[in-house]
Amino acid sequence: MKRYLFLVFTCVLLLLACGKRNEPTQFVYETNFPDHSPRLKKFIKDYISSDVAYHLATKDQVNVYAKKNLGSQQKTIEYVQFSDEQLKQFYEHILDAESPKTEFVNLRESKEALFQTVDDTDAYHLPKINLEEGNIFNIKTSISEKSFKLSDLLKEYDVGVNDKVIFNVVAVDNDSFQIDVQVKRKEDSSKINTSVFMTHDLQNTFVSQTYTGEFPNNIVKGNLNLYENLFVKLDSEGRYIKAANSFGIADTVENELKSINEQDYLSEDNQYVYLGGNADPLSEGKQCIQNIEDYLAGNEEYTAEFDLNLKQISDALELNSVNDVSIGKVKYFNEDFVIVYLNFKAAIAGTAGSTNVIIDFQEDWENPTIYLVDLGLH
């Protein structure tokens, strides 16, 4: 009898759990481009910069980035910037465009016109770094200058003077900075990925991988205390900590590395998780978003739930589809702004049409505004 009651109780929980398909909510779908808003601005900022640069700072409405080094032939770091006002002027014409898709795609293709070289690197505490012959870092800050042999700095990783090195500045604050270093060994072509943390006076350095158990262990030991302002704190208590440009999350209580399930999607601001958001195609029906604390703790508390109804979307766009998709995936998720791509199957063969779906929770987590507009974001 007890076993029977346990099974009944478990079934009830499963029925109530997020992901169970209830009666679909009938949304009012907007088919125009969204109005200007903080989240739209943030999305466009990320859209035009994510493939070329790491965001380092925003000060007095000026956004500062380090251009990504993608190959070992790149021997220095280039810093670029643009203001919020320049960004708005760059994209505001698409708000009323007859063909948002064309204009939106053009934004990314013409983005180089927006980025300007940072002239005053000291104002943003940006280190000048050159990789010289023999794998030597020459680093100059506003208060110090010093050379570091990578064979010494990364000696525990057996880095040689002839190994290929790719390096990027991924985080900066008033006191310290983080350099991500990828080394491809000449002798066996194996790769090493690690992070070098330095204070601006260049008197303190520490090297740690950020995607293995080495990271939480170094935090718990206090080895990274000088650089804590570079890290993203995922909860109010400081239990969960993430390094810039890393998928590993340090649990400083359990002293272990946690990660996001490969089927789930972590938001750009690292504060929310879209459950099942990395699936392709997305499951139709109820969609769930958790804050990161509840997610990592394994709680069944949800920040938002909404219905993904393919028939309603197909009907709103007047598509001759079978109310199913060949591709359905999250393309962007930041805080309270989600963008999905859907490619609908045709009744006989091929595709019936595609769209981006913008789910905007800015006004209300329980009643999002949903826009159906093709941005060409696939």
The band of 1, judged by pLDDT with boundaries at 50, 70 and 90, is very low
Rounded Cα distance, 120 and 115, in Å: 15
The band of 23, judged by pLDDT with boundaries at 50, 70 and 90, is low
Instruction: Say if CB 89 and CB 22 are below 8 A apart.
Output: no
The band of 17, judged by pLDDT with boundaries at 50, 70 and 90, is low
From residue 280, alpha-carbon distances to 100, 155, 283 in Å are 25, 42, 8
Q: Does position 206 have pLDDT exceeding 70, yes or no?
A: yes
% helix, strand, coil for the chain, step of 5: 25, 35, 40
Predicted TM-score (pTM) of this structure: 0.90
Q: Does position 7 have pLDDT exceeding 80, yes or no?
A: no
What is the rounded average pLDDT of the residues 241-257?
Answer: 95
Give the model confidence (pLDDT) of 289-325 as tens digits.
999 999 999 999 999 999 999 999 999 999 999 999 9
Q: Does position 16 have pLDDT exceeding 60, yes or no?
A: no
Mean pLDDT over all residues of the chain? 92
Instruction: Say if CB 312 and CB 24 are below 8 A apart.
Output: yes
* The pLDDT of residue 61: 95
Give the model confidence (pLDDT) of 262-281 as tens digits.
999 999 999 999 999 999 99
What is the rounded average pLDDT of the residues 350-368?
Answer: 93
- Count how many residues are written for the chain: 378
Provide φ and ψ at 159, rounded to 5°.
Answer: -90, 130
Give the model confidence (pLDDT) of 219-234 as tens digits.
999 999 999 999 999 9
**What percent of the chain shows pLDDT beyond 70?**
93
Burial of 197 (0-12, 13-18, 19+ CB in 10 A): buried
SS3 349: coil
Angle at 64 between CA 63 and CA 69, to 5 degrees: 135
- Would you say the C-alpha torsion 37, 247, 215, 188 has a positive or negative sign? negative
* The pLDDT of residue 361: 96
Rounded Cα distance, 128 and 199, in Å: 13
b/e code 310-347 from CB counts within 10 Å (16+ = b): bebbbebbebebebebeebbbebbbbbbbbbbbbbbee
How many other CB atoms are there within 10 angstroms of residue 364's CB atom?
11
The band of 6, judged by pLDDT with boundaries at 50, 70 and 90, is very low
Q: DSSP string spanning 28-55?
A: PEE-SPPPP-HHHHHHHHHHHHTTTEEE
Tell me the longest C-alpha to C-alpha distance in the chain: 76
Q: Does position 237 have pLDDT exceeding 80, yes or no?
A: yes
